[in-house]
Amino acid sequence: MLSKSSKLATTVAQEFFLRERKCFSTAMTLKKKHSCKLLVVGGGSGGCSVAAKYASKFQKGDVIVIEPSEKHYYQPMFTLIGGGMKKLEDSCKPTKSVLPKNALWLKDYAVKFDPAKNQVITKDGDSVEYEFMVMAMGLQLNFDQVDGLVDALKTPGVCSNYSPAYVTKTYEELKKFKEGNAIFTFPNTPVKCAGAPQKIMYIAEHYFRKTGKRDKANIIYNTSLPVVFGVKKYAEALMKVCEQRNIKINMRHNLVKVLPDKKEAVFENLDSPGSHLTLNYSLLHVSPPMSSPKQLKESKELVDSAGFLDVSKETLQHKKYDNIFGIGDCTNLPTSKTGAAVASQLKVVRMNLDARMKNEKLPATYLGYTSCPLVTGYNSCILAEFDYNGQPLETFPLDQSKERLSMFMMKKYVMPHLYWSLMLRGYWEGPEVYRKLLHLGLC
Ligand code: FAD
Ligand code: UQ1
């Protein structure tokens, strides 16, 4: 009999594929015409928080949110779900319950942007005219960009924490693992939560130790990057963790093909184009290629050459259209894409959008704050926090590059509450205030 979690995962997988298919069969007959003061595109972490802030200030219906999904996931929990520490249902709430009641929710995709006319068209053909717009469309997962991967994910041994459709499979695979190569990948694209591809590897390593399988496992991290992590202080700490725990790292190796029949994964050596490394796997955890969402990428006036929303890195205002702001993963802000970054960006968007609405000078500057709780097992975590310059910007007055139980407890027990109860209601704008308090105003 299927468990509650497996049933949810099956439904999620079905919905995921239906949604993707629907997305490409666009019927462009105009239906309803809406207008609003603030349009928020995307109802994920950033969109929900922004909508909550403004729906409470404005009249009913002044804020419209376009968001296609019925379900809102707290994605940072996927890492713990993959390790069997939380259930998929713990990470999920109905979108209806997390969007502000005062806002109008259009359950649809934004498919066409006409920023010169302040207008957006949805997939169902509705039009929305806005005075101001905040774009929070997140990232698109492109499993299909790795040859054979979509089929391989249906076969034993292959899993991914990145999608609710596959995340429960990760823990199933850890349980089933007997011996051989356990390979973890990092793609050759921008990603959300740059630590997530390796967090699950440390969890797996610890799981194998706990269950007496460690000496049978050869743990390999194949990353497209030339470093294990982008910030020196944390990279050094993680390299030590890998050495101590006998984890092999192949830098600059990008997964290009999976052959599930032979249980082989093929990696391109990015420093020697055309040269490939083929490895057998018993377990293959894939972090898929990611990109800006298709509908955004196609809006050439709004995006940079890589397809991300082109905003000022200081003010988060669009570089060409000053009534548009961006938040989160869909922007070209040169920082690591995380929910923690979104919380800090929320303050900047709120202050600068308020000012723009009054035609005043934009007062707030974003320093690139982002954070990544690098879970290194079932009771330890390195809490990375840093800015645009890769300089640590740590909240607590202790060395956060050390693996700590306290940080693990915070990740597992505190963060979910902070997210659901404060952040999505627009009340969490990052830890800056606490950092200043705890460092007596010195940083
Ligand atoms: P999202 O929250 O992804 O929301 C984007 C929304 O836009 C979605 O709801 C989507 O349906 C909607 N959308 C897409 N296309 C359209 C369209 N055409 N029209 C309308 N709506 C659209 N962050 C942390 O801070 N700490 C962590 O520990 C952490 N761990 C993570 C682990 C994993 C495995 C993953 C996957 C992510 C993790 N993150 C973590 C990252 C974090 O979840 C994201 O950075 C954050 O959710 C970004 O918020 P967002 O609003 O930009 O995008
Ligand atoms: C954070 O603000 C945040 O957003 C709610 C997260 O996840 C979603 C995080 O993982 C982290 C670490 C932060 C930063 C907060 C503190 C207290 C350091």
> pTM here?
0.94
pLDDT (0 to 100) of residue 29: 55
Q: What is the pLDDT along the chain (443 residues), one digit of tens a residue?
A: 345 545 555 454 444 433 333 333 344 454 899 999 999 999 999 999 999 999 999 999 999 999 999 999 999 999 999 999 999 999 999 999 999 999 999 999 999 999 999 999 999 999 999 999 999 999 999 999 999 999 999 999 999 999 999 999 999 999 999 999 999 999 999 999 999 999 999 999 999 999 999 999 999 999 999 999 999 999 999 999 999 999 999 999 999 999 999 999 999 999 998 999 999 999 999 999 999 999 999 999 999 999 999 999 999 999 999 999 999 999 999 999 999 999 999 999 999 999 999 999 999 999 999 999 999 999 999 999 999 999 999 999 999 999 999 999 999 999 999 999 999 999 999 999 999 999 887 77
Query: Which of 222, 232, 211 is CA-nearest to residue 185?
Result: 222
CA of 67 to the centre of ligand 1 (A): 12
Phi and psi torsions of 223, nearest 5°: -120, 145
Atom of ligand 2 nearest to the CA of 411: 10
CA of 187 to the centre of ligand 1 (A): 17
Most ligand 1 atoms within 8 A of CB, residue of 66, 121, 193 to mutate: 193
Name every residue whose Cβ is closer than 8 Å to that of residue 417 and which is 6 or more positions away in sequence: none
Which secondary structure element, helix H or strand E, spans residue 435, and what is its range? helix 432-438
Per DSSP, the three-state class of 443 is coil
DSSP-derived secondary structure for 245-303: TT-EEETTEEEEEEETTTTEEEEEETTSTT-EEEEE-SEEE----EES-HHHHT-TTTB
Half-sphere exposure of 393 (CA within 13 A, CB side): 22
Ligand minimally distant from the alpha carbon of residue 70:
1
β-strand partners of 106: 66
CA of 44 to the centre of ligand 1 (A): 6
**Tokens representing 169?**
């499979």
Most ligand 2 atoms within 8 A of CB, residue of 74, 327, 342, 371 to mutate: 371
Residue type, 135: M
CA of 400 to the centre of ligand 2 (A): 14
Q: Compute the distance between CA of residue 108 and CA of residue 41 in angstroms, rounded to an integer.
A: 10
Contact present, 51 and 63 (Cβ < 8 Å): yes
CA of 36 to the centre of ligand 2 (A): 31
| Cβ neighbour number for residue 274 with a 10 Å cutoff | 6
Most ligand 1 atoms within 8 A of CB, residue of 133, 329, 335 to mutate: 329
pLDDT (0 to 100) of residue 441: 73
Where does ligand 1 bind, in terms of residues with CB under 6 Å?
41-47, 66-69, 75-76, 78-79, 109-110, 136-138, 161-162, 192-193, 196, 293, 295, 328-330, 337-340, 342, 371, 373
pLDDT (0 to 100) of residue 24: 38
Q: Has domain 4-139+292-357 been given CATH number 3.50.50.60?
A: yes
CA of 414 to the centre of ligand 1 (A): 19
Q: Is 393 left (phi over 0), alpha (psi -120 to 50) or beta?
A: beta
Atom of ligand 1 nearest to the CA of 167: 34
Half-sphere exposure of 203 (CA within 13 A, CB side): 27
Half-sphere exposure of 136 (CA within 13 A, CB side): 30
Most ligand 2 atoms within 8 A of CB, residue of 383, 415, 427, 436 to mutate: 415
Atom of ligand 1 nearest to the CA of 48: 51
Contact present, 325 and 316 (Cβ < 8 Å): yes
* 4-139+292-357 and 141-290 share one fold: yes
Which residue has a Cα nearest atom 35 of ligand 1?
A: 75
pLDDT (0 to 100) of residue 18: 39
Q: Compute the distance between CA of residue 241 and CA of residue 423 in angstroms, rounded to an integer.
A: 32
Which CATH number applies to 141-290?
A: 3.50.50.60
Instruction: Name the residue ranges covered by the structural domains of the chain.
Output: 4-139+292-357, 141-290, 370-438
What are the residue ranges of helices labelled H in 58-193?
Answer: 78-82, 95-98, 149-152, 167-176
Query: Which of 12, 18, 72, 186 is CA-nearest to residue 420?
Result: 72
CA of 194 to the centre of ligand 1 (A): 13
Q: Which residues have a catalytic role annotated?
A: 193, 372
Which residue has a Cα nearest atom 45 of ligand 1?
A: 338
Phi and psi torsions of 201, nearest 5°: -70, -45
